[in-house]
Amino acid sequence: MPDKQEAPTFFAVAQQIQDALNHVEAVAEKPDGRQSDLLSQAVAHLRAGDYALAQDAAFRACRRSLSRSRTTMVALGGSSAVTVADIRADLYRLLAEAPPWMLNSLL
């Protein structure tokens, strides 16, 4: 019988979003429109306490067809106004505003 999986914590999900941001930034200088939307949604879901939805959005932001050329990515919406830095700043603001009781999840 498999062990019961523990529920994700605020900071664990925040780290997953951070990892997704790092991945997207490493793959392209700027996320495409879909990735920007998903990463922004991940932060919004984290803010709302919907950890599973936040994890899903962060995961989906990293899943892009590897066969697409840069030209195709731009044609499909790569001109997003939201940058990785914008999303990262929003995530950092959220972490700075986290209530003290959430710090217990780090212990």
Q: What is the CA 47 to chain-centroid distance, rounded?
A: 12
Please give the mean pLDDT across all residues of the chain: 77
Tell me what percent of the residues of the chain surpass a pLDDT of 90. 30
Residues 25-60: pLDDT tens digits? 888 767 788 888 899 999 999 999 999 999 999 998
What is d(CA 7, CA 5) in angstroms, rounded to the nearest whole number?
7
Structure tokens at 82: 């939201």
Q: Span 58-65, mean pLDDT? A: 79
What is d(CA 68, CA 18) in angstroms, rounded to the nearest whole number?
24
Query: For tokens 């939805």, what's the residue?
Result: 53
